[in-house]
Amino acid sequence: MNQFSSVRLRIVILISLSAISGCTSTEPIQAKVFQDRNSPEHVFRLKYGVLKDSILSMFSIKSQLDNKILKAVFYEVIPNGGTMPLIFQPETSKDTLFSREYFLKAGKSNDIFLHDFREPWTSKFYYSKDHPLEYTADFIVKLSEIDDSSTKLSVIAYNPEVINGISSYGPHGAVARYTPVEATTIEEYTFLEFIASKLGDSTLLPIKLPKN
């Protein structure tokens, strides 16, 4: 290909991309009625170090794949109409891969950072018109020592977002529009239920869900 042809090809590509970039979309974000939210915190009768080590060990691929509590919320809908469970990875300040920016902040060194590489799942709270929106977030497990034998655990959603349209087009097609939203407490409490079940603690209240 000569220089003139190469330049002409680049111009055609730029014109095409410019035309496509105008085909963006934004879906309205709506929320279900959900007045009585979950409280994703609990005091476990375990020492701080024992509880932290236990949480890190329970987030293996095997223990998550077949877990009914996690599968009820964290799943991906695949093309044939079925679902595939999402797997979360725990990170600490000692092994930051996707959590480096978070752990650079003051007062975060004792936390556990949970992520699924920002893969979205179907929201039980956010929707647009006649369909649920996809939702994604990372999660922070915070541990606070109460005394020598008790530790308070809290789960917090970090940078929650929904996908509500197309923001642009790139070389590989449409680029999803991510919009920040408030946390729902559904996902946070689901993680709390999962942890409690693995520890044999059956004192949690049932999870609360929004009205349909």
Q: Range with the lowest mean pLDDT among 109-113, 146-150, 171-175?
A: 171-175
Amino acid residing at 195: I
Instruction: Give CA–CA dist 49/38, Å, rounded.
Output: 26
Instruction: Give CA–CA dist 39/205, Å, rounded.
Output: 10
User: End-to-end distance of the chain based on CA atoms, in angstroms?
Assistant: 60
pLDDT in tens, 13-55: 444 444 455 578 999 999 999 999 999 999 999 999 999 999 9
Instruction: Give CA–CA dist 61/63, Å, rounded.
Output: 6
CA distances from 175 to 29, 36, 137, 147 (A): 18, 35, 18, 49
pLDDT in tens, 50-96: 999 999 999 999 999 989 999 999 999 988 888 999 999 999 999 99
Residue 9 clears pLDDT 50, i.e. is over it: no
Amino acid residing at 200: G
Residue-wise DSSP of 94-157: TS-SS-HHHHTSTT-TT-EEEE-TT--EEEEEEEETTEEEEEEEEEEEEEEEEETTEEEEEEEE
Q: Which residue has the tokens 């809290």?
A: 154
φ/ψ bin of 34: left (φ > 0), alpha (ψ from -120 to 50), beta (otherwise): beta
pLDDT in the model for residue 60: 96
pLDDT in the model for residue 22: 57
pLDDT in tens, 156-211: 999 999 999 998 888 888 899 999 999 999 999 999 999 999 999 999 999 999 98
